[in-house]
Amino acid sequence: MVIAGGLPVGIARAAAGAKPVRFGLSSFPPNLHPFEYTGTASLTVKLMLYRGLLSYAPDGTLRPELAQEWRQVDPVTYEFVLRENARFHDGTPVLAEDVKYSFELIADEKSTAHLRKDFQIVKTFEVFGERSLRIVLKQPSVTFPQVLAAGYAVVVSRRSAAPNFIGAGPFTLDNVERGSSVTVKAFPEFFRAGVPGPSAIHFIAMPDESLRIAALESGDVDIIEYVSTQYFDRLKNGADVGLESANGPFMYLLFNVQEGPFTDPRLRHAVACGIDRNAVNAAAFSGVGTPFDHLPVPPSPAYDAALVSERFGYDPARAKALLAEAGVGGGLVIELLSTSQYAQHNDTALVIQQNLAEIGINANLSLPDWATRVSRGNRGQYHLAVQGTAGAFNDPDAVSAYIEGGQVPSYTRPFGYNNARVNELLSAGRQEMDNAKRQKIYAEIDGLIVQDAPLLSLLWRPQAYGVRRSIRNFAPLPGFLSFQSALRLEDVTSA
């Protein structure tokens, strides 16, 4: 037991007046498997229970997490020393063998881990001391430390297995009411002094956004996620509530390129010419989004969208000509998948449906709840799908998660897409350290994605949270990291 001022840490925190925090989730987590991607609401809870070697500070910079220190020995070798006071929730120490066990689970060829593909770059995991680990890569990777900081590269006890993995996060799992709520309580032996701030966090599933807003305003919850732009002014001007947001997530369209009508690239190009991004922004995002038509890469010295000049802008006449060339004219009927659970996804789908009708494509809308939308997307049960997400880190290589072939099918990726040249260039881009050379690599990738059109970027959007003014120390992380903003919950205090 860790001691603080003569008292066990847990007792010391209680004496300091730690309070529980109530968080309104946009959906109930489909599962709490630490390595699988099941949406940001799930990740929010998982980051309470699990931590990795590295993570992110509030300003988005890398910080040691379970690792006390780390260094890059040479272009392909990293060494980590674990904290002596890092403990799993069963009280056992976090050791190098646990890290090796966890990362080998992620990298296994039968793994369903979100980062399985990213971990294929690892040549060996070498334990050379009880708390010392060496990771040797097959080739250099400018972004490998960022991969290790992702919320899906966590460490679990080697004494545990799915579905009952034991983590080392700031909270332990207390209670689950299936479909309704998840409660986590402070872990008194968490390694970081004075953390977590809350004595517990009650995650309450509230799929209806209007109910989340009402619960926040009434004080029934303290924080809510996924605030639509239509509510921004209302919360900004609230007496007891406020708004915290960061640009970073992006909205896009995904094609099923393996089966169905969009195996024909001419039809994908027709859709690309038929989409009015400004109309999507106005109708679904109250005009506060930023439309774009290039690779979804946040500002970076390693990427310049201007290097690719040939793109499919909004051109309904060209869209109709492409349909005619493909021999379908105005008789194409497709299935458009989105979700009714998130207003911005739902409203985007409505605009896309209208855009497509104007060029002669009849889109039948499918708007299930989020869990069903995820399941259908993973199985490729759509022709065209609306999706919104953010990359794992603020680097061009983050797009690998969406366009690199050979990965486990995911609702975040175009179903069946695999271009050998794109894969080759992505590998070259993550090995190259010179930003000028990386710009040229990603420009070629950008051009190939324009040509193949497996996905269509729509716009950047804010990731916003509604927060009671009594809550301190919570704000989203910047850029793509906004989906890992739950890392800030460990610092929250309540007046």
pLDDT tens figures, 188-230: 999 999 999 999 999 999 999 999 999 999 999 999 999 988 8
Residue corresponding to tokens 């020995």 = 73
Model pLDDT, residue 483: 87
> pLDDT category, 356, cuts 50, 70, 90?
very high
Distance CA 25, CA 493 (A): 19
Taking residues 170-186, report their average pLDDT: 97
> pLDDT category, 10, cuts 50, 70, 90?
very low
Do the beta carbons of residue 133 and residue 79 sit within 8 Å?
Answer: yes
> pLDDT category, 16, cuts 50, 70, 90?
low
Model pLDDT, residue 7: 34
pLDDT tens figures, 262-307: 999 999 999 999 999 999 999 999 999 999 999 999 889 999 999 9
pLDDT tens figures, 360-408: 999 999 999 998 999 999 999 999 999 999 888 889 999 998 999 988 8
Model pLDDT, residue 357: 96
State pTM to two decimals: 0.77
Do the beta carbons of residue 278 and residue 459 sit within 8 Å?
Answer: no
Model pLDDT, residue 17: 63
Say yes or no to pLDDT of 247 above 90: no
pLDDT tens figures, 82-136: 999 999 999 999 999 999 999 999 999 999 998 898 899 999 999 999 999 999 9
Distance CA 248, CA 42 (A): 18
Token pair belonging to 394: 């603020």
User: Sign of torsion, CA 452 456 457 458?
Assistant: positive
